[in-house]
Amino acid sequence: MRPRKIIIDTDPGQDDAVAILLALASPELEVMGITAVAGNVPLPLTAKNARIVCELAGRPDIKVFAGCDAPLARKLVTAEHVHGKTGLDGPILPDPRMPLQGAHAVDFLIETLRAEAPGCVTLCPIGPLTNIATAFRRAPDIAQRVQEIVLMGGAYFEVGNITPAAEFNIYVDPEAAEIVFASGAPITVMPLDVTHKALTTRARIDAFRALGTEPGRMVAEWTDFFERFDIAKYGSEGAPLHDSCVIAWLLQPDLFSGRRINVEIETTGTYSTGMTVADWWGVSGRPANALFIGDIDADGFYRLLTERIARL
Ligand code: BDR
Ligand code: CA
């Protein structure tokens, strides 16, 4: 079978970094490009971090593009309190040598979706949706050409992680999320409801370290850093590797289950801006616009992740 063509839109972030490694380690996927967006840290750092991760995977040939440096209509909110000053705090990593592409990420998204046959490119946004929404706004024809959008964002039963109501990626740019959820493109959502079931444990982190490779060691050290925040906040045993759920879905969808439902984005709430209003019980009468994932086989997910990182 031909590999599935994907574009990863990202704001690395340690869990973004693991997701990128998982994709680059998987022959079922062809990473056409990586588009960086402002989110966990400002754009210059996310564009740099994406290249650090490609080099760590031994893939300096991957095209990395810088995209939007601020949300559509708001001031950027970042998450250094979770990811550290660099976004990839934990291990010391060398500056990347591979170049950043000259084109803007939004132009790359538009040109690629127009150049490929309809239904052949899957978008994997794992940060705020600013790049994707800007591309859809500038080139409304491309939404129908997307095979699928598989995104990490939102929450329903688990509610918020950055405010009581909102998950970080959607909260940072709710206007962008609104455009994407109204685009008509097929959408699969990995909300906190599922990512909070994909927690690291000591044994799972040790398994990465025991691979004895540089990528294995980096994944262990990133998660060591990243989990201190979640352990303190939630009292959980470890941290969720949120963004890897997006890539794992493409590789092994039978690890997940969810419902096709209507999801709307709150953009004007007093306390609830950035909330994904997910009609899990089908009470609104509004048409379904997304597959909202609710459950994961966490052991299977970590088995897949460890087996793939071992290949790098
Ligand atoms: C999301 O926000 C970021 O901090 C993570 O990388 C993930 O994409 C989780 O809310
Ligand atoms: Ca992210």
Nearest CA to ligand 1 atom 4: 40
Q: Is 242 a catalytic residue?
A: yes
pLDDT of residue 284: 98
Cβ neighbours of 72 (radius 10 Å) = 18
Closest ligand 1 atom to residue 79 Cα is 4
Q: Which of 9, 10, 14, 15 to mutate to test the pocket of ligand 1 (most atoms within 8 A of CB)?
A: 15
pLDDT in tens, 100-151: 999 999 999 999 999 999 999 999 999 999 999 999 999 999 999 999 999 9
pTM of the model: 0.98
pLDDT of residue 35: 99
Catalytic: which of 81, 104, 196, 242? 242
Which protein residues are within 6 Å of ligand 1, measured from CB?
13, 15-16, 40, 79, 82, 126-127, 152, 161, 167-169, 242-243
Cβ neighbours of 223 (radius 10 Å) = 22
How many angstroms separate the CA atoms of 215 and 73, rounded? 37
249 Cα: distance to centroid of ligand 1 (angstroms): 17
Ordered domains of the chain (ranges, CATH): 4-309 (3.90.245.10)
Question: What are phi and psi for residue 55, nearest 5 degrees?
Answer: -65, -40
pLDDT of residue 236: 78
38 Cα: distance to centroid of ligand 2 (angstroms): 10
190 Cα: distance to centroid of ligand 2 (angstroms): 12
B/e letters for 13-42, b = 16+ CB within 10 Å, e = fewer, are bbbbbbbbbbbbbbeebebbbbbbbbbbbb
Per-residue confidence of the chain (312 residues) as pLDDT tens digits? 899 999 999 999 999 999 999 999 999 999 999 999 999 999 999 999 999 999 999 999 999 999 999 999 999 999 999 999 999 999 988 999 999 999 999 999 999 999 999 999 999 999 999 999 999 999 999 999 999 999 999 999 999 999 999 999 999 999 999 999 999 999 999 999 999 999 999 999 999 999 999 999 999 999 988 887 878 888 878 889 999 999 999 999 999 999 999 999 999 999 999 999 999 999 999 999 999 999 999 999 999 999 999 999
pLDDT of residue 169: 98
pLDDT of residue 227: 82
Nearest to 26 by CA among 240, 269, 310: 310
As a whole-number percent, the residues of the chain with pLDDT over 90 amount to: 93
